[in-house]
Amino acid sequence: MTTSASKPTAPSDRTRVRRIAENAHYDAATLHAILDAAYVCHVAFADEKGTHCIPTACWREGDHLYIHGSNGGRLIKLLAKGTQACVTVTHIDGLVLARSAFHHSMNYRSAMVYGQFEKVDDKRAALDSFMRHLAPGREHEVRPGNDKEFAATTVMRIRLAEAACKVRTGGPNDEAEDMGVAAWAGVLPLVQQRGTPVADPLCTVPAPAYVQQWAA
């Protein structure tokens, strides 16, 4: 659905981007791309002790974002009760240096997901998906979790139905009166770089394709 100005409509009032609304994206393709590029998300929630924001590993499967943790952890116990949560993911792509101090910015890709988490019954299949997110095919090579390990672990997921993304690209947006300021202006790119794999000294197994191609 679009407005008369051909702008996508936010899924809810709390996901509608108000500040620099032209950077907002509500489409699934943008959301999925941001989440799929992430290994960690931050889950914010409130309890009787205050407001918390906890980083945790994440992965996407279809229209849900998944996390996992110990049954006894505060995050898992609170989310299992149906506590409202806000999940965020952010990638920084560059520092934008403008001619005015107050016009400096960043290039970024960010996503926010609102809602309630639910427990996942098929933990084995879900954690296999997590392994594939880390390294495709690795779930077939390593020792699978045993009954004790699975019994101590909870996998949870949140629907991506109520979400918003915000993306900035490009250079500085200086005011006309600042264009004469004698200061360098432009973008300092930031890139997440994959390094050369480092084998465990006790490992005698040849590196599989996903390891050999890691830094390619």
pTM of the shown model: 0.92
Domains of the chain: 13-212 (2.30.110.10)
Rounded Cα distance, 178 and 99, in Å = 6
> What does the pLDDT read at residue 128?
95
Rounded Cα distance, 126 and 67, in Å = 9
5-15 residue pLDDT tens: 456 778 899 99
> What does the pLDDT read at residue 1?
38
CB 34 within 8 A of CB 28: no
Instruction: Using the predicted structure, report yes or no on whether residue 52 has a pLDDT greater than 70.
Output: yes
> What does the pLDDT read at residue 193?
93
89-129 residue pLDDT tens: 999 999 999 999 999 999 999 999 999 999 999 999 999 99
- What is the rounded average pLDDT of the residues 165-172? 97
Which residues touch 31 (CB under 8 Å, ≥6 apart)? 25, 111, 160, 163, 165
